[in-house]
Amino acid sequence: MAEDPIYTTAVHAGEDPLRNQGSLSVPVYQSAVFALPDVEQGAAITEGIQPGYSYGRKGNPTQAALEQALCELEGGTAALALSSGMAAINVTLMTLLAPGDHIIASNCLYATTHSLLTEILDPFGISVTQVDATNPENLDSALTDKTRVLLLETPANPTLELIDIPAAVQFAHPNGLKVVMDNTFATPFNQRPLDHGVDVVIHSASKYLGGHGDLIAGGIVSTKEVISQMRWHTNKILGAVIAPLTAWLVLRGIRTLPLRMERHNANALAVARYLEGHPKIKQVLYPGLPSHPQHALAQQQMSGYGGMVAFDVSEVEKGRRLVDQLRLCTLAVSLGNVETLIQHSASMTHASIPREQRLAAGISDGMIRMSVGIERAEDIIADLEQSIAQL
């Protein structure tokens, strides 16, 4: 089988040595302001009618190189890089929705995305219905004549439940809805939602794209029309611009994305298999395990299963002790670093969600979420082994 072209795309996308004095590494254009050639062209550049740069809130050449890379990786026609993953979700929803509109969202989303829907959008007059989107039939019953957007995350944070992407698109498009998908967990190495008809892909680049846990950034990939509206309207006003150095760091991370993801995928599978065979572990959730309830779907829409593993040690207390006793794996929120990160969802990332609601979204009391790093797999497993033995 031919190797995935992403290995070459990741290394070269966005490079432009002829424009950059021969520099293969795209320079950090540390500039907020750009000199304009004359009044007429200056006005056209400032309004986005003519290509060029005027003011750093609307774009910068380092940012543009990252955007080119995001676009090529996801197979879109345009991209926008932003200051965080949350900025990407905000800018997307504020572009696609207006007061009076309605959005259908999956009920298993990153907790702060959930807060955005309930604490910001809803009070501003955008009504929200959250459903178990793993069953496409639930989408239909949530539809109203005001629904404009379907917001999904697959695999979801932290349950690793999957949404059938083609089925979601098949429901949304005939009803005039745009499908927005957070592809942070999978990355374009493992899943390309635009290829399945999704309209807008979102990333927290703070995770696998950056890859080293040293930056906060976000990205949106879609069509030229949608991205242009975001750049020249929504984000021009909101101002969630990415800093030039941060854009450079994300781009550098992307150069090794396929290599890191290959390793994350392999290590996560090894860890998931180990945990599944352990008598003290109640359940392991990893899309690459045949025991995952949606493994067949994973095989259809993903080319790899990612670095995230969730497992259940039954009780809150055991979950807390398991993570506290680890020595190599780092107790931390976030994910996608080269190091293995681990956390107890009920007392950390999802602590703000009421217990009943958390349980309904599949986040059990003893759920541990692990971002399996690129260390030697047996070292990660040995660390888990010594901690689980003490439970």
User: Which DSSP string do the residues of 163-217 spell out, in sequence order?
Assistant: --HHHHHHHHGGGTPEEEEE-TTTHHHH--GGGGT-SEEEEETTTTTT-SS----
- Structure tokens that stand for 247 in this block: 């854009």
Is 54 or 113 the residue whose CB approaches ligand LCS more closely? 113
Q: Which of 148, 207, 260, 358 is catalytic?
A: 207
Q: How far is the CB of 178 from ligand LCS (least distance, A)?
A: 18
- Is the Cβ–Cβ distance between 349 and 333 less than 8 Å? yes
- The footprint of ligand LCS (CB under 6 A) covers 84-86, 110, 153, 157, 182, 184-185, 204, 206, 216, 218, 333-335, 349
- Taking the least distance from each CB to ligand LCS, the nearer of 106 and 267 is 106
Q: Is the CB of residue 187 less than 8 Å from the CB of residue 305? A: no
d(CA 86, CA 127): 19
Of all helices (H) and strands (E), which one includes residue 80? strand 78-82
Shortest CB 281 distance to ligand LCS, Å: 21
Shortest approach of ligand LCS to residue 290 CB, angstroms?
25
Catalytic member of 29, 178, 182, 199:
182
Q: Which residue number is nearest to ligand LCS in terms of Cβ?
A: 85
End-to-end CA, the chain: 45
Given the complex with ligand LCS, which of 265 and 371 has the nearer CB atom? 371
Query: At its nearest, how many Å lie between ligand LCS and the CB of residue 72?
Result: 21
Residue 359 CB neighbour total at 10 angstroms: 13
236 is catalytic: no
In the residue annotation, 252 being an active-site residue is answered as no
Q: Which is nearer to ligand LCS, 74 or 153 (CB)?
A: 153
Which of 106, 204 has the CB closer to ligand LCS? 204
Does residue 208 have an active-site annotation? no
Among 4, 57, 236, 282, the active-site one is 57
Of 29, 53, 58, 110, the catalytic one is 110
Q: Which two tokens stand for residue 296?
A: 């067949």
Cα–Cα distance, 308 to 372 (Å, whole number)? 6
Asked if 355 is an active-site residue, the reply is: no
List the catalytic residues.
57, 110, 182, 207
